[in-house]
Amino acid sequence: MSEDWLDTIHWNADGLIPVIAQETGTGKVLMLAWMNRESLERTLATGEAVYWSRSRRRLWHKGESSGNTQRVVQMRLDCDADTLLLEVEQHGGIACHTGRHNCFFHRYEDGGWRVVDPVLKDPEEMYGGTK
């Protein structure tokens, strides 16, 4: 596979690009994550989302611990070539490590942030105390 397509991407100073994961069918934004060249190549090779974990400083195959994988339906690059959009099938129905469907469960209301989406599965059940 030619690497020209990778060179089109405007990677940040850390060699990363932000990635929005959007649920196919609903259009719901599930999460924001990051990819480096290797994680993007692995995503294309496997058909499942593989991200770069900035906190763990390693590749992270989404669902490797929880089983909540993301099958990539299509991938798009924005007009500035500095953000990726992945349209995904969210297997297991949970994208967030908190056990919620998506990571955007706080809504600004009356001068503060309010949790508006329920926990679908206890994170302890998915990760056994680690995430």
Mean pLDDT of the chain: 94
SS3 string, 12-72, reads CCCCCEEEEEEECCCCCEEEEEEECHHHHHHHHHHCECEEEECCCCEEEECCCCCCCCEEE
Q: What is the pLDDT of residues 111-130, one digit of tens each?
A: 999 999 999 999 999 887 65
CA 54 to chain centre: 12
- CA distance readout (Å), 61 to 12, 36, 113: 21, 13, 30
Q: Nearest Cα to 40, choosing from 14, 67, 68, 15?
A: 15
Provide the pLDDT for residue 130. 54
CATH topology for 4-93?
Ubiquitin-like (UB roll) (3.10.20)
| pTM of the complete model | 0.90
Provide the pLDDT for residue 127. 84
Q: Is the dihedral of CA 73, 90, 104, 15 positive or negative?
A: negative
Q: Nearest Cα to 87, choosing from 73, 102, 104?
A: 73
φ, ψ (nearest 5 deg) of residue 119 = -75, 125
**In this model, does residue 1 exceed pLDDT 50?**
no
Q: What is the pLDDT of residues 67-105, one digit of tens each?
A: 999 999 999 999 999 999 999 999 999 999 999 999 999
**Residue 107, H or E segment:** strand 106-109
